[in-house]
Amino acid sequence: AAFPSHVKFNLPDDKPCRYLMLNGCECEPFLTCDHRVMLEYAGELLDGLAILQSFVEAEEIYIAIENNKPDA
């Protein structure tokens, strides 16, 4: 999806961000790009999530993965 990041992270002052969700689920059955990124760049991914959590002041982080990719 091409939803602009600057819109996602432009939160109203009176609306706190409680949850930050990383969607690691592929949109098509045979795609593996999200899975490979989670496997090959796990440290960078977690560093980026920590930066985003600090920026939006999220209370909790969730990472969604598919049942058939438990190694992600």
From the list 25, 32, 8, 17, the residue with the least C-alpha distance to 65 is 25
* 62/2 Cα distance (integer angstroms): 21
Domain map (residue ranges) of the chain:
32-72
Residue 1 pLDDT: 60
Task: Label residue 70 by pLDDT band (50, 70, 90).
Answer: confident
For the segment 4-60, what is each residue's pLDDT rounded down to a tens digit?
888 888 888 898 999 999 988 888 878 888 899 999 999 999 999 999 999 999 999
